[in-house]
Amino acid sequence: MPGQNAPDDSRTVNWPLTCVAYREVMMAGYEMLSDISRLPLKVRRRALRVLWRASCVTGRLPVYGVEEILKYVLHLSNSEAARIDKEIVYQDMIARAEWGAVLKRSWQGLESDSASIHFPERGVLEQASRSGKPVIFAPIHMGCYVLPFARIMLDHFENRRMLILRAREDRPDETLAMQRISEIGIDMHFLNVNEKQKYLEAVRFAKDGAVIVSFADLPASYGGPERVTLFGKPIQLAMGVASLARLTGATVIPMAVHSSVEGDVVDIGRPFESYQKGLAEKARIASIMRRHIEDSVRETPEQWHMWPRFNEFLEPEMLGEAV
């Protein structure tokens, strides 16, 4: 919420933000998170909440360090930015535990966990499944997405493959978790599209019936940038999903996962398609995705994983001020 003492420009933010000290502290607690990940979903999230609260009370909670960014982008008060910064730590704990759960829990345990995943707009998924057309999910980096996607595949696209596109990051724990999901019968994989040939493979797989996941909240360096405003700030947003939709004739479904102590809620946006090529069409899709990002982040700002990288979205003149 708006408040006093919120900075007016990005010059008060110390870019670039690396959160190195925070990561070191979190890795020190990796074994504890690994043990907690063996528990049922609601139990492990409540256990993590107790651990988080105890750390807050004793002053041992690691500092995530995005308070100034939150104040700059969302115009929050000092107290609200500090509160959200602490909540981000809990969300990070959840995310790490959920990837661990995929590796540590039995298939029966994971199936039981999925009962805590809710889809208020399930009709959209059913319609997309019945159509037989290519489907592109366009989520943002929010919440814990691995089990919700597994549930979507089981319930609606059981005989199809899911490919989660990524361009740079290679996180071994996430790769192992995806392999585990494939071993238990759900055809989900990462596909690195850092080369043109790999991108063309994604197009071919989509045309052949694969369900594609292309994250919508990526900065310009990921390709196909389009200028938009995000929370009133001029930014450049990667628009690979626009060309992918046009080349495949797919239905694009924006989505976001909101994770809490009690489970996950999968927010499904209004589906759209793209058959035209040109600046106006690209701008139209960028506007759709911009609204989806803003609405999702405003609802649960502590769950957006891209806060430390917000400087990568900024227009060059804004980044110049920030640096």
Listed by start position, the domains of the chain span: 10-107, 109-322
Which pLDDT tens digit goes with each residue over 274-284? 888 888 999 99
Highest mean pLDDT pick, 1-5, 134-138, 195-199? 134-138
Indicate whether this model's pTM tops 0.95: no
Beta partners for residue 76, in sequence order: 2
Q: Residues 268, 272, 277, 282: what is their CA dihedral angle, to the nearest 10 degrees? A: -40
Give 43-47's long-range contacts (Cβ < 8 A, gap of 24+).
Answer: 44/97, 44/101, 45/94, 45/97, 45/260, 45/261, 45/262, 46/261
Which CATH architecture fits 109-322? 3-Layer(aba) Sandwich (3.40)
The amino acid at residue 223 is G
Which pLDDT tens digit goes with each residue over 171-215? 788 888 888 998 888 899 898 887 777 888 889 989 988 999 999
pLDDT at 240: 87
φ and ψ of 276, to 5 deg: -105, 155
pLDDT at 277: 85
Q: Where are the beta strands (DSSP E) in the chain?
A: 117-118, 135-139, 162-166, 188-192, 211-213, 225-230, 233-238, 251-260, 263-268
Higher pLDDT pick, 61 / 270? 270
Which pLDDT tens digit goes with each residue over 90-133? 998 899 899 999 999 999 999 999 999 999 999 999 999 998 89
pLDDT at 46: 96
pLDDT at 235: 92
Higher pLDDT pick, 96 / 292? 292
**Calpha distance 249→260 (Å, rounded):** 35
pLDDT at 42: 97
- Token pair 């990921």: residue: 222
The region of weakest confidence among 64-73, 78-87, 112-121 is 64-73
pLDDT at 278: 85
β-strand 263-268 against 117-118: which pairing, if any? parallel
